[in-house]
A and B are shown apart, each in its own frame.
Chain A
Amino acid sequence: MVIKINMKYAFIIYLLLLGFFELCAQESKPVHQTFGDRRIINTQSVEMLPVRKLDFRVGHRFGDLAGSGGGWSTFYGLENASDVMIGFEYGVTENLMVGINRTKGAGPLRQLINSFAKFRLMTQGATKTQPVSLVVLGLTTVSTQPKSETEGVLHFFESPIHRWSYHLSVLTARKFNERISVQANASWTYRNIVPAGDSNNLPAVGLAGRAQFSKSLALIVDTTFPISAFRTSENQFYPAIGLGIEFNTSGGHVFQMNFTNTRGISETDYIPYSQSNIADGEFRLGFTISRLFSL
């Protein structure tokens, strides 16, 4: 199956969504819990950690559920780990949180250390002129994998700067009612070294949503569309799509189980290197465990 995404249309849809949010009814109370967690599936959400809370997180992506790498031989991917993330996040102020984590990495660069800062510019309903929540995320990634002896591969690392990549995104979300929340993202990823034919600059847009079924159970979905002529299905690139279920145990735990075609977890990994095709069974089970501590 060939998927062609007209990036112009994707961007126009994003702008329309922003305009729609602006026109929505306006509240006068700050909206709480637009999403249940700081991450939806692959995408960060507009949620922030409360002040002086430390979040210990473990994220996991198993191997392909089906297709050539899945099935019974790998127990439907459960015997493989596409990516694993272990890290900490901390709420510095009401509107600023920082985090650091290590991911195994699923793209050409591995053993990634990701550090990020997330700043909230606007909270939906805080004033009558704030129909959405607006958050900015900045992330840097450094690959700590050993330098390769083979020239021509990305991890040859001719210069140490080649280990680094960067990501900036703007997240806009609106909680329409107690059950439905929608988020639109625009992002820019810059990698210091890229495969031949690719561009260092990689803009992307994304959409995400959450449907709350009960106090503790919600369905979550997110998608990210890189805007790049290089990223076509002919070149084995696909948009990142995730679908998941979120359990809130009401005791400081959020447990999330998801299916996604991305192998990587960090933004600088999954946005440029989503090369799994859902239609070929190349999607996997993943989960995230989060535990909050008061400091």
Chain B
Amino acid sequence: MNRLITLILLVGAWIIFQSSEKEATVLDKDQSLYEALYQLGYKSVDHSPDLSIAGASAQVGEDLVKFGFSDIEGQLKSKRQSKHFVCTSCHNIEREDPDVSVSDPEARLEYVVKKGLPFLQATTLYGAVNRTDFYNDDYIKKYGDLIQSAKHDIRAAIELCAVECAQGRELHDWEVESILAYLWELQFTLGDLNLDENEAMIIQKALNGDKMEMQAIQILESKYLKHSPAHFVDPRPRDKHSEAPNTGDVQNGKLVYDVSCKHCHLNNRYSYLNLDDSSLTFKWLSNKAETYSRYSIFQIIRYGTHAKHGKKSYMPRYPIEKMSDQQLEDLKAYLDLMAE
């Protein structure tokens, strides 16, 4: 009898051991990245929102990001921030890269099309609080010293975006904290980081206190970009008299036109220039493409336009990380085909 009891206890202990070991390797993919990092001993970042400021709330922040103002019942009212743009004019608020550790416009286009998102000039706000650097690389050419304070300070970056990018008014402190609180809700989760089984197991063990914290932090930090690269390039030199066939992929070009150009231009959404699917539009774009003017897709996409007195609405340029030269060729091929 004693032997039988001993055997039952042993089997029970083995089952408990097995199940607890299995649980230890299943990572909670919905766990926020910062929560995991803090648990691993990562030093806290200085851009967590200060919700002690009167009026600050993530709900207000969400309204500001999506609509440019907030008039939620029982909360402080926020006047329209910009006459021209809202945050989502140029930023997605969803994940837009299949692999958040690289900035690959080709992969991003495919990914956003599948998710029904636009393909935009600015980096998604999803995961913005997980970044440490803002207005990176060549943005200094555009904004000069203005980016110095915003380079490592997300609050200053939000203010700069409101005033310079959106050409609107300055934000109040409680509005900045509200936006930050909303962005905090958009931080990466562990499920966004494309961890393989081994990496997931190491992280889970570290989270369970198995002394692999540094390794786990290193793995996590290698899985996302802490800054969004942005390099401004000139349009590729073009020979408008060349009779060489366009090598662009027409299907890909259609995607660029639909989720990029039309996002802002269809029915004059953000622009006086209406771009639709009419043959007149395609002919016009195709004919202007090789010209040296702002109506050339190559010129406008690479250089954008600038806000000026009396006409503050403008088109931001696409850094090479946001639209590749091949995607531009694809767009040209599509426009040429549709113009025929």
Contact check: which of B83, B279, B283, B295 meets A294 at CB < 8 Å? B83
Bound-state CA distance A215–B339 (Å) is 12
Determine whether the beta carbon of B280 is less than 8 Å from that of A294.
no
Bound-state CA distance A251–B281 (Å) is 15
Task: Determine the residue in chain A with the shortest Cβ distance to B312.
Answer: A294
Bound-state CA distance A216–B274 (Å) is 11
Contact check: which of B83, B283, B312 meets A215 at CB < 8 Å? B283
Determine whether the beta carbon of A178 is less than 8 Å from that of B278.
yes
Determine whether the beta carbon of B273 is less than 8 Å from that of A250.
yes
Determine whether the beta carbon of A252 is less than 8 Å from that of B284.
no
- Min CB distance B310 to A, Å, is 8
**A contacts with B: majority SS:** loop
Task: Determine the residue in chain B with the shortest Cβ distance to A178.
Answer: B278
Given A52-B83, A294-B83, also A214-B272 (CB < 8 A): no
Determine whether the beta carbon of B281 is less than 8 Å from that of A252.
no
Task: Determine the residue in chain A with the shortest Cβ distance to B277.
Answer: A178
**Which residues from A are CB-within-8-Å of B278?**
178
Contact check: which of B83, B276, B284 meets A216 at CB < 8 Å? B284
Task: Determine the residue in chain A with the shortest Cβ distance to B273.
Answer: A250
Task: Determine the residue in chain B with the shortest Cβ distance to A291.
Answer: B310
- Min CB distance B264 to A, Å, is 13
**Which residues from B are CB-within-8-Å of A293?**
310
Q: Which residues 268-325 of B have a CB within 8 angstroms of A?
A: 268, 272-274, 276, 278-281, 283-284, 295, 310-313
Contact check: which of B272, B279, B284 meets A292 at CB < 8 Å? B272
B31 interfacial contact with A, CB 8 Å: no
Determine whether the beta carbon of B272 is less than 8 Å from that of A252.
yes
- Min CB distance A124 to B, Å, is 13
**Which residues from B are CB-within-8-Å of A215?**
280-281, 283-284
Q: Which residues 279-295 of A have a CB within 8 angstroms of B?
A: 292-295
Determine whether the beta carbon of A251 is less than 8 Å from that of B272.
yes
Binding site for B on A (CB under 8 A): 32-33, 50, 52, 178-179, 212, 214-216, 250-252, 292-295
Binding site for A on B (CB under 8 A): 83-84, 267-268, 272-274, 276, 278-281, 283-284, 295, 310-313
Instruction: With A32-B274, A50-B268, A294-B84 given, name 20 new contacts (CB 8 A).
Output: A32-B267, A32-B276, A33-B274, A52-B83, A178-B278, A178-B280, A212-B280, A214-B280, A214-B283, A214-B284, A216-B284, A250-B272, A250-B273, A250-B295, A251-B272, A252-B272, A252-B311, A293-B310, A294-B83, A294-B313
